[in-house]
């Protein structure tokens, strides 16, 4: 059994105790904290962080990466306040004993095209964040989110060629690439030397709908097989985004749909089973 399975367990429940109970049931020892008892991980006080750490210790759960909102802001908005939030997230990461922080590369008001000046502003902001990450010995993991600068494989590669270092690496999210109309095999080949972390999510090209890993157009099995053959030993973080549970019954999922709990626990369990079907084939 592959040990470095994690996930956005706030998709199970907003309540951390319920998140951890399900993770324990599934035998998952890590989580990627984002929603914590109704608050974003970045807004927790020092006392709340310590309360979370105590619960983690009680359930035997560790943090794989902070699922932060850093970089999900418009370039037109002032960066200084956001940078203070970033520094707060760095402290939270250190308090929770993880070196990884998921980040993004900013939105703009335009369409698909980015100007030279906008690109330079993205790079300047990221350089400032990377310098602070280096000082604090944490690693920023850039996720290829829709509509940010680094949404397409080519622009992700641009960021990595400009900024890649021990403190700035890539998250590879197959579904997000699909939703941007990208071929994930091409995306993988372009970014394979920079991938530090995987989000396990799949989607259909036709409408962008997120589906269990291996049932969409994200080539999840191919990407994972290539990663492991090249010595990958990083986290696989479940981010189900499966929406309405009843709607999933129309998918051709066979035995994976049997005996699932209701609601968020059910969709998270389905995501976990789907990943393990792939891992059973390739490991």
- Record the pTM: 0.95
pLDDT at position 236 is 98
- For domain 5-282, give the CATH number: 3.20.20.150
State the pLDDT at residue 241.
Answer: 83
User: Burial letters for 3-31: b for 16+ Cβ neighbours within 10 Å, e otherwise?
Assistant: ebbbbbbbbbbeebeebbbbbeebebbbb
Q: Residue 87 and residue 131: Cα distance in Å, rounded?
A: 11
102: closest CA among 152, 31, 153, 161? 31
Within 13 Å and on the Cβ side, how many CA atoms surround 106? 23
Tens digit of each residue's pLDDT (9 = 90 or more) over 196-229: 999 999 999 999 999 999 999 999 999 999 999 9
Q: How confident is the model at residue 195 (pLDDT cuts 50, 70, 90)?
A: very high
Element (H or E) spanning 276, and its range? helix 263-282
Structural domain boundaries in the chain: 5-282
pLDDT tens for 39-54 read 999 999 999 999 999 9
Q: Say yes or no to pLDDT of 36 above 90.
A: yes
Q: Taking every pair of C-alpha atoms in the chain, what is the biggest distance, in angstroms?
A: 54
């Amino acid at each position: 059994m592959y040990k470095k399975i994690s996930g956005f367990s706030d998709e199970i429940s907003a309540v951390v105790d319920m998140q951890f109970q399900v993770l324990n049931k599934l035998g998952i020892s890590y989580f990627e904290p984002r929603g914590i008892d109704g608050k974003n991980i970045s807004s927790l006080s020092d006392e709340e962080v310590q309360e979370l750490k105590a619960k983690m210790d009680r359930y035997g759960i560790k943090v794989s990466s902070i699922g932060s909102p850093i970089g999900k802001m418009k370039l037109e908005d002032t960066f200084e306040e956001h940078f203070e939030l970033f520094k707060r997230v760095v402290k939270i990461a250190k308090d929770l004993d993880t070196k990884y922080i998921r980040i993004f590369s900013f939105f703009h008001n335009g369409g698909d095209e980015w100007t030279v000046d906008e690109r330079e502003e993205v790079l300047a902001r990221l350089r400032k964040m990377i310098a602070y990450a280096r000082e604090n010995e944490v690693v920023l993991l850039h996720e290829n989110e829709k509509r940010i600068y680094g949404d397409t494989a080519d622009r992700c590669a641009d960021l990595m060629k400009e900024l890649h270092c021990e403190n700035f690496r890539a998250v590879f999210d197959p579904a997000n690439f699909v939703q941007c109309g990208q071929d994930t095999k091409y995306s993988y080949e372009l970014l394979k030397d920079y991938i530090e972390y995987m989000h396990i999510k799949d989607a259909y090209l036709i409408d962008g709908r997120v589906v269990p890993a291996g049932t969409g157009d994200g080539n999840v099995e191919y990407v994972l097989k290539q990663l492991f053959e090249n010595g990958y030993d990083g986290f696989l973080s479940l981010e189900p985004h499966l929406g309405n549970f009843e709607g999933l019954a129309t998918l051709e999922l066979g035995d994976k749909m049997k005996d699932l709990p209701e609601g968020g626990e059910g969709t998270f369990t389905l995501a976990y089973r789907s990943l393990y079907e792939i891992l059973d084939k390739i490991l």
